[in-house]
Each structure stands twice: as C-alpha cells, then as structure tokens.
Structure 1
C-alpha cells in the first residue's frame, strides 16, 4: 500500500472509531426508539409511507424505503446501519474535503473529521432522534466536493485549458462530478430538510455554467416529497404556532447567536447533552470558534469555494438567530400560512448544519496556521543554533502533529458526554411481543385509531424521554394521528383533521358505528403509557375485542366505511417518484464508486502533497 493509501486508511479507520464511540450502544440488538426516532422490526407501504396520506409528507422517502426493505432486512438493523454509515460519511467526507481544498495532511484531516462528528449539532440531533436528518448532514461535504469538481472540469473544458487529450479528461471528470452530485443530492434527500441542505451547498459551488442543470437534477432527486405535496393529500397548512415553538434556543451563557455559532441551540431543551447546561457550553463554544477563526483567512484565500462556504456558514448562523427575534417570528408565521411547504423552515436550527463544511475546512487550515506560527517561534529562538538548520523546521514538522492532537482534545473534551450514545441516552429498546400479535390480528381493512390521545408516549421499556408512538410504523393499516405537538408551552396543531374528529369521538365515548362512518376499522389501546382516555370505555363496549395483554388491547370496529384519501393514480404516481429517487441514488453511487475521474483525484492529491507541511 502506498503512503497516500495508508493515510486514507488511517483517516477512514479513525472516523469509524469515532463513530462507534458515539453510537456504540446501538451495536447491540434492539430498536432505536427515542423522541422522533422510531424503528420497528417491519413497516408497511401505507398511504402515509408514500406521502399521500392525510398528514404532510415530512418522512418521505424515508418511510417508504424502510417499508420496502424491512421485509428483507430487519427495520431496526436498517435504521442503525443508515445512522452509522451517515456519521462515518460525515467525518470522512469532511476529511476528504480538507485534503482536496486546503491540501490538509493526515493530522489536519483528522481534525476536520473530529469537528464534523464531535459537535453539539450531532449530539442534539441524536438526542432528538433525527437519524435521517444526519444522512443529509453527512452528504454536505460530498456535495461540496462534487459541485466544485463539476465547476472546475466545466471551466477547463470551455476555456480550452485541457485542449487535446486533456479535454477528454475534463469531460470525464465532469461526468464523475455529476455522478457524485446525483448520489449526494439523492442521499441527502432521504428527508426533505436534508435535500434543502444539500441544494444550498451544491448550487452555491457548482458554478454559473452548470447551475441550471444542477437545479434540474436536484428537483428530480426531490421527486418523492415534491410529488406528494403536488398531489394534495388534504393536509392543512402548518400551524404558525410552530414557528415560535421550534425557534432556535439560547443555551446558558451563550445567547441565541452564540449557541448557533457553536453548532448548538436546538429548540428542545431536553434534547441536549448535560455538558451543554453547564459552563462547559461556553468553554466548548469558545474553543471551537477559536480553532475555526485560526483557519478563516486561509479558507477565504482559497477563492470561490472557500468564500462561498464561509458565506453560507455565516448566513446559516445569523438567519436562524434573527428568526428567533420577534420580527423574525412574525415573518416565519406569515410564511407558513401563505407559502406552501414553508413548514419545512420552522425548525431553523436544523440549517446550522450548513456551517459544518466551512468549519471543518477552517479547523484543518488552522493546523497550518499554528505550524507557521510555531516555525516562526523556533526560527527566532535565541537558543537555536541556526534557524535554517533546525531539524523540526527542516523536516517541516514544526508543531503540526502536536497541534492536531491538541485541537482534537479541545474539540472533544468539553463535549465528552457525546460518547457512548450521548451518555447512554441513545440505546436500543425491545418491543413487547404483543406488538407482533396485534399486527397478526389486523386482518381486515379500515384505518386504526389509537389511545391514549396524543402522538408521544412514555413506555416502561423506552426510558424516561418521550417517544413518538410506534403504531403508525409498526401496524399494517394507516394509523390516524392528529399531528398535534406540545413544545415549550406551545400547542402546535397538526394537519390530521379527520384524525382529530376520530380522537374527539373516542374521548367523548361515541358508539363504534360513528367511528365506522369515519373510516375506522380498528381501535388500539396502549395500556402502559400515560395519556387521556376520556369516556372511550363507552366506545369500546360497542366494539369487538380481538386481542389483549398487559401492554395492548385491539378492538375491531364492525363494517367500517372505506375512505380512500388517496386515489390509485396518486399511489402509482408517488410510487413511481420513489422508484425514480432510488434509481438516481443507486446509479449515482455506483458511477461515483467507479471513479471515472480517478486521474483528476490523483492529480489533486499530488498537488496537495506538494503543499503539505508535515
């Protein structure tokens, strides 16, 4: 193996090690069930999974992917595998970005990878259960690399710099870049928010000549959720109360702007590591920003790529901070009421992820800044026999490896509780056997109503944190849920109008015939979680008990009216959009893995090696 190959293997292994330190508990058997994260043994391709149900299509194509693959691969393994691969890809992608753009050596690449993996954003989104959002986060450095490659190749080809045989290289490199950009856009598009994140990075760096084709490519990779939105599933506009509820939050001693600049500030104060509630939050943020500041000048000097990423980082920090002000909240409320799909923007702290590529580059460049400063100190050392002959200066090793080790320690130690599942909070759980019994007993059509009312649960087997009800993902029929959330004292109304009607009827003890007219064929009672039951006992006496144990009870509602929210044509259209997305993802990954621009990559690595300082 060549020295460059050994270096890449070292960086890849380091990222794998860091990833397993973070999510080590998930290596055991069981399922991820924490706040918004719900993995189940198997899920089903319902209308909701396709994004054509009664609620907004927030989890497409994520839910459809799990529904299609979970009959073959256990759904818990799928979710854990996607999360682990995403985290590793985020770290390794940041390292590769640093190697290509700032000629970072191995030590600096490790610093970039550490910053991308070990930060409050990753910790808070893990605790919130946003595993699929982290897939979009992981795609950002790869998107930046692909877009920069396309712009460079396009510029060389059109300017004639690669005339003759070189023009063929430019064309091939461009094809490789487009393959990588396709894979990056599609992978980030596991959720709509991830898709928006990748679009900002990719479209900012791809260059004027390739901008319109890149926009078209991005739109195609958004096919699942754009199609579901266009089909008009009946979902109502987002509740404007959600803008205040999901606004970025100030962490202790930092304020909102400081929290966001330190890659923290999630809206849910319970989904933060314990260290972020102590003075360590201030210390960690100051250290992070200090490291980043040391490399800003070098990254700005890169030219278009570096400057674009720095500007994006600044905007991604400032706009969410402004969005938490009174006039920013008012603007956000107007948007979600009047602009379709603007509900995607209400959790503004999500978009701080856009700062990660620039931060990683700055951290890697900071190693060189420290090296140069150390060289100057040694060169002016009166005790040195001769500056030019100083062995550490002559070998180009001045302060570099110590700087890399120091930076890694400064990034990790203030957030030490990110280790091992953020202090053990991110761990697998095991479902009671009764859930599978319920699935086996649902053998007729009709939507499912669930009690207690509300979307969140506290099961004895899931820990102390609230978790999303697993019923919609574990049961074979569509589950009616209101989508109503209670966040930071705000009641945020969801889009499920029929679900609200059904829930109210249950709580008032309406007869089963009334529920049947609303399309309800089944009622599931989750017995081990607190929540309002109202006068539902009256309803249950008019339904047929088909299964019960200490955890669950399932009732059949006779002769339900089958209300199809989606038409067969809508289902086929949504399925086709999902297939298109999957084809783009697989094709892009395969084409990028073939690496038709290998020559260009080697050329870039040789150029980088010539500029390295270690």
Structure 2
C-alpha cells in the first residue's frame, strides 16, 4: 500500500514530464545524447560538480534517449524517497501501521525542499535525497538484526546510488555514520562505519580524482558563499524557513504558495506534525540519532547564513576550495528528511482515542493542502521541452568534426523563448563530442560569481573584441556557436565562415585544434567504472544472499 501511495505522489509531482520532450530548467539539462568527453569525466576547466552523473548519462544515452533517462531517474528518486521513508518508519515504528507509513511518505515527497530543488533543476540531487531513508534503514538493520551479508550489500548500494552527485554522496555518508549510533546487538559499530566509509570513498573517487588531476578548484569559489546562503521566507526567519524545509537561496525557484505569508501556515502544519510525532519517536532509542540529525540539519544552515557564519565559511572556502560544496547551505536540510518522516509516522499514534487511520488521513490531507502547487510539475513549471531543429543540426555538424567550441553570449545561463521564462544552463556542452569552452560564470542578483574557466574567459574576450579567424584558431577554437535570440549583434560582428544559420543558432567554422592533454583519461574512466561496479555489486550480493536463503528448505515433519 505505502509503495503504491508513494508512487502516486511522485507521479502527481512529475506528471508533465511524461509528455515527449526534455527536462530543461535552470540547472537541469537533458539532451538526446551525451558523450564521455573530458568534461563528462571531470577533466575540463570546470570544477567536477556533476560527477559521476555526466558519465552515467553518457553511457546510458548511448542506449536510451538521454531525456528519458533523466526523467526516469527523477521520478524514481521521488518514489524512492516516499517508499524509503515508509519502509524506515515500518522498521522503527511498526505500531504506526500503514497509515503512519503513508504520512512518512507524504512528509518525504510533499514538502518545500522537493519543490524548490525541482524548480532549481537539481534532479540528480533529488535522486540522492531519495536514497537517504534507505541508507538509514540498511544501517538500522545492520545494527539491530544482521543478516548474512544482505544488509551490507544494501548499505553499499544505496550509498553508491546517492553518489550520483558529490552532494548526494556526502548526505548519504552522513546519514550512514549517524546511524552507526543506533543501539543494538547487531554488527559492531566499527565494522558498520568502516563499510560505510569504504563505500563512500570508492563512490567519491570520480570527483576526488578529477579535482586532483585537473586542479580546477579555485579560491574564487568563496565569492558564491553570500549569494548561495539560505534565505528567509515571508513571515518566517531563516531558522523557521529551514525548519519548514524551505529557504533556498534562489527566490525565483520557489512555489507560489511559499512566496506569501501563507508559507507560515505550511511551516506550522509541517512542524506541528513533526514535533508532535517526535515526542513519541524519542521513546524509541533507535530513532534518536535520526531525530538529532534533523535538528542539526536545520540549525547548522541557519548558523551558516548569519554574518559570522558567512565570514567563517568564506574564509574556509578560500583556504580549502574543495569545501565550496558547502556554499548552498539549504541543500543540507535534506538530512532532516529521515527524522521528519519517522516523526510524521509517530504522530499517527499520539491520539489513542482516535483511530490511527483517521489521524493519518488528516495528516496527509493537511500536508497536501498547504503545498497545493507542488502538484503537476510545481504548478506547471517543470515540464517537457522540445528543442528547435537547429540544435540537433548543429550538434551533428560539430560531432562530425569535434574540435573545441566557443559559445556566445557570455556566461553559463541562457533564456530561450522556446524553453519557457526561466533561465537554463547551456545545453550545448552536454550534446556534442567536442570540448565546449565555458567560463562557468554565474550572475546572481547583479553579482557575478566567477567560474573556473580561465582559458574559456580568454577566448570569450577574443570573440567580444572581434578577433579574426587566425587568432581564434591559434587560441584553440575550432567552432563558434552563437545561441539566439538576444545575440544577433554578436552574430553579425563575427567575420567568420558560416556553416549553419537560422533563427535559433549560428555555427561558425574556425578550424583550431584541441590542446594535447596528459594521459589522465584512463585513470578517470577507471574511477567511474569502480563506482559503477560498486553500484552493481549491491543488487548482485543481495540476490545471491536471497538465493542462499531460498535454497535452505525446512526439514520435513517426522
């Protein structure tokens, strides 16, 4: 019942994506095909923020359309979040029954965090988010009722699955290590922690190795600390916004119901259910680590958004650029979800004189009612988009001769009339075999957060200065793509041979060659294959353990 209910909720949220087309919204970019380029392996100028996600898409899109892969993973992530929350609640609070499991699923799926991350385009982060309750449940089994290897296999699999992005992996590792504190007579704490850390380390190899080989991390990432800080919602301070699972830095990536003082009502309903249920769940020692983690997951980002917190984080990221992953403070609120889900399930047992089913129905209805615009792609904002004919045509020409590509207009974000009113990350780097030179610069609220693309920035300045074909070729530019509309003047000013032109794109052929790189690709491919092997090992080990158990038949009666 609970898995089916979770699937219904996940489909209700993502229904517009079932139409033909591609997810193209802010940071979410899907294309028909992508390739294992240096960028997909983390060896370009940009920091390795999308590993091993880009490699997985390059592999999967060689078999299935990349747009289908992204949408399927997104739906699966939300479904897993609800189903996993229900499963975790069933293990910790069996007396809550199916009603409690459904409340847990609702808390996990139907909340502002999911809405805001969808609108920001963080589909892969939501996949990692969906793995968190499964990581918690696997660790709980290990600490309380070990099997013959299957729980370890489950833990390894869910940590690797969450490792689709660096943030997802860090979230999963934290949940696993917090779960080690669960009391029980199962596997020893040191053994559980060692397995979790080993799985997390192997899963992190793609982006750790890329950062070491490409040396792309720069102190300039500290410039993004203030723009990416958690934000207070109307009528709520930063702390209460985060406690209500809201408060994303981008005020445009917020459902309409959270842009007015109605956000107070939504936060009050969620916290009333969670706090009431926590009074019951705290009586279960196994639930206390997750509830403690939920409290820290709310308080820590709130502290990071204060003046002293921002100053400390800026200094930390300047000294250790690899910690730039901490900048977006609100995303760490995901760590509260397993504890919130357990507390939501426990709330159904609070009123002894009221049937648990009635309490569960009231809780689910209230949670759905205070965030009505999460349904149907967050009020029709998360939809399938169709690319104009120019995009596959230009991609085919570049792929036939994959020389380095420079792109105009400057910056990483675009506004295309055919993609809707929201900005979107440039799709071109994920659609061609060639290296696309991108600065990675982002403009947030009139403030530019510089990216790591030093060479790309130099090429960009050459283009804007009207450099001729010879100078561009010497700078290693093979093609120039001008993405329209809004850049017609740039297209006219370029005195270069035109290979393709229409109302959406202009492609110029320059003829420059790519720079030769050291032989780092085999190392990076090996790290990605290690992650894929870890991802496959979990289900295989679980299946083998199941076969062993099935082969043991009970003794016939005498």
TM-score (norm: length of structure 2)? 0.94
* Mapping for residues 29-108 of structure 1, pairs under 5 Å: 29-103=20-94, 104-108=96-100
Structure 2 vs 1, CA of residues 344 and 147 (structure 1 numbering), >3 Å: closer, same or farther? same
Name the residue aligned to 2:107: 115
Name the residue aligned to 2:554: none
Check whether the contact 1:186–1:585 (CA below 8 A) recurs between aligned residues: yes
Check whether the contact 1:83–1:134 (CA below 8 A) recurs between aligned residues: yes
Name the residue aligned to 1:581: 531
- Give distance in 2, aligned partners of 1:405 and 1:67: 43
Name the residue aligned to 2:135: 143
Establish whether residue 205 from structure 1 lines up as the match of residue 179 from structure 2. yes
Establish whether residue 546 from structure 1 lines up as the match of residue 537 from structure 2. no
Check whether the contact 2:156–2:195 (CA below 8 A) recurs between aligned residues: no
- Give distance in 1, aligned partners of 2:392 and 2:463: 24
- Give distance in 2, aligned partners of 1:499 and 1:409: 51
Name the residue aligned to 1:432: 388
Give secondary structure in 1 for the equivalent of 2:479: strand
Give secondary structure in 1 for the equivalent of 2:350: helix
Whichever of the two has the greater Rg, that structure is 1
Report the alpha carbon displacement of residue 359 of structure 1 after superposing the two structures with TM.
0.3
- Give distance in 1, aligned partners of 2:73 and 2:402: 32
- Give distance in 1, aligned partners of 2:274 and 2:175: 19
Report the alpha carbon displacement of residue 594 of structure 1 after superposing the two structures with TM.
5.9
- Give distance in 2, aligned partners of 1:436 and 1:531: 20
- Give distance in 1, aligned partners of 2:542 and 2:126: 21
Task: Indicate the larger mover: 289-298 or 360-369.
Answer: 289-298
Gaps of 5+ in 1: 1-9, 154-169, 375-397, 600-614
Report the alpha carbon displacement of residue 102 of structure 1 after superposing the two structures with TM.
1.2
Report the alpha carbon displacement of residue 593 of structure 1 after superposing the two structures with TM.
5.4
Name the residue aligned to 1:390: none
Report the alpha carbon displacement of residue 147 of structure 1 after superposing the two structures with TM.
1.2
Deviations 1:200-219 (A, max 9, x none): 00011135322233212211
Give secondary structure in 1 for the equivalent of 2:392: helix
**Equivalent of residue 508 in structure 2, options 541, 555, 568:** 555
Establish whether residue 215 from structure 1 lines up as the match of residue 197 from structure 2. yes
Establish whether residue 331 from structure 1 lines up as the match of residue 324 from structure 2. no
- Give distance in 1, aligned partners of 2:226 and 2:430: 28
* Mapping for residues 391-410 of structure 1, pairs under 5 Å: 398-410=354-366
Name the residue aligned to 1:245: 227
Name the residue aligned to 2:518: 567
- Give distance in 2, aligned partners of 1:245 and 1:84: 29
Name the residue aligned to 1:284: 266
Q: CA RMSD in A?
A: 1.7
- Give distance in 1, aligned partners of 2:91 and 2:475: 59
Name the residue aligned to 2:369: 413
Report the alpha carbon displacement of residue 11 of structure 1 after superposing the two structures with TM.
1.3
**Equivalent of residue 362 in structure 1, options 330, 339, 343:** 343
Structure 2 vs 1, CA of residues 268 and 364 (structure 1 numbering), >3 Å: closer, same or farther? same
Establish whether residue 297 from structure 1 lines up as the match of residue 253 from structure 2. no
- Give distance in 2, aligned partners of 1:281 and 1:241: 30
Establish whether residue 462 from structure 1 lines up as the match of residue 454 from structure 2. no
- Give distance in 2, aligned partners of 1:75 and 1:346: 29
Name the residue aligned to 1:605: none
Report the alpha carbon displacement of residue 518 of structure 1 after superposing the two structures with TM.
1.8
Check whether the contact 2:41–2:55 (CA below 8 A) recurs between aligned residues: yes
Deviations 1:402-457 (A, max 9, x none): 10110001111010000000000000000011111112212324210011111111
Report the alpha carbon displacement of residue 537 of structure 1 after superposing the two structures with TM.
4.3
* Mapping for residues 315-354 of structure 1, pairs under 5 Å: 315-354=296-335
Report the alpha carbon displacement of residue 318 of structure 1 after superposing the two structures with TM.
0.7
- Give distance in 2, aligned partners of 1:597 and 1:338: 51
**Equivalent of residue 185 in structure 1, options 145, 155, 159:** 159
Report the alpha carbon displacement of residue 340 of structure 1 after superposing the two structures with TM.
3.6
- Give distance in 2, aligned partners of 1:591 and 1:282: 47
Give secondary structure in 2 for the equivalent of 1:436: helix
Deviations 1:368-388 (A, max 9, x none): 012x2x2xxxxxxxxxxxxxx
Report the alpha carbon displacement of residue 533 of structure 1 after superposing the two structures with TM.
5.8
**Equivalent of residue 514 in structure 1, options 468, 471, 492:** 471
- Give distance in 1, aligned partners of 2:466 and 2:475: 15
Check whether the contact 1:44–1:475 (CA below 8 A) recurs between aligned residues: yes
How many pairs does the alignment contain? Answer: 539
Name the residue aligned to 1:133: 125
Establish whether residue 444 from structure 1 lines up as the match of residue 426 from structure 2. no
Establish whether residue 526 from structure 1 lines up as the match of residue 508 from structure 2. no
* Mapping for residues 370-385 of structure 1, pairs under 5 Å: 370=351, 372=352, 374=353
Establish whether residue 271 from structure 1 lines up as the match of residue 253 from structure 2. yes
Structure 2 vs 1, CA of residues 595 and 106 (structure 1 numbering), >3 Å: closer, same or farther? farther
Establish whether residue 194 from structure 1 lines up as the match of residue 168 from structure 2. yes
Check whether the contact 1:453–1:531 (CA below 8 A) recurs between aligned residues: no
Structure 2 vs 1, CA of residues 355 and 594 (structure 1 numbering), >3 Å: closer, same or farther? farther
Structure 2 vs 1, CA of residues 318 and 41 (structure 1 numbering), >3 Å: closer, same or farther? same
Check whether the contact 1:22–1:422 (CA below 8 A) recurs between aligned residues: yes
Report the alpha carbon displacement of residue 279 of structure 1 after superposing the two structures with TM.
2.3
Name the residue aligned to 1:257: 239
- Give distance in 2, aligned partners of 1:136 and 1:148: 19
Deviations 1:91-118 (A, max 9, x none): 0000000000111300110000011000
- Give distance in 1, aligned partners of 2:380 and 2:86: 27
Name the residue aligned to 2:211: 229
Check whether the contact 2:218–2:321 (CA below 8 A) recurs between aligned residues: no
Check whether the contact 1:314–1:355 (CA below 8 A) recurs between aligned residues: yes
Give secondary structure in 2 for the equivalent of 1:49: coil
Structure 2 vs 1, CA of residues 594 and 118 (structure 1 numbering), >3 Å: closer, same or farther? farther
Report the alpha carbon displacement of residue 399 of structure 1 after superposing the two structures with TM.
2.3
Check whether the contact 2:124–2:164 (CA below 8 A) recurs between aligned residues: yes
